[in-house]
Amino acid sequence: MKWNFKLKLNGVNPEKIHRTQLYIDSEILKRSDPYVTMKTGSLKRSGETGTRIGTGVIKYTAPYAKRQYFAGKATGQRGRKWVKRMWLSQGKHIIKNANKILNGK
């Protein structure tokens, strides 16, 4: 799954942009954690090890990650499409805080 965004950031300090991206990436991983399908924890850890914080790409590298993401079984809050479900629930909060970092508010 891929989300693309285009932002006009004319005149914004590149360091602020980088710090904002670091925040967004780490928050997506952290807040998605309770939604990730879990048996042994390997899938969750593959997100931590497969993602380079600050690049804007969240990657779960376990060999079965794609299968679990699209067709995995749900147990309570944990289940398929964990990033999408987290984003629907908490995305506005992440964006609000990202704007504070970006705009210094």
Indicate the domain borders of the chain.
Answer: 14-103
Q: Which residues contact 53 (CB under 8 A, 6 or more apart)?
A: 22, 25, 26, 29
Q: Fill in the amino acid letter for 73.
A: K
| Residues 51, 102 contacting (CB under 8 angstroms) | no
The two three-digit tokens of residue 25, written as one number: 């990436």
Q: What number of other Cβ atoms are within 10 A of residue 77's Cβ? A: 12
Length of the chain: 105
3-state helix, strand, coil in the chain (%, to 5): 55, 0, 40
Predicted confidence (pLDDT) per residue in 29-86, tens digit? 999 999 999 889 999 999 999 999 999 999 999 999 999 999 988 989 999 999 999 9
pTM: 0.86
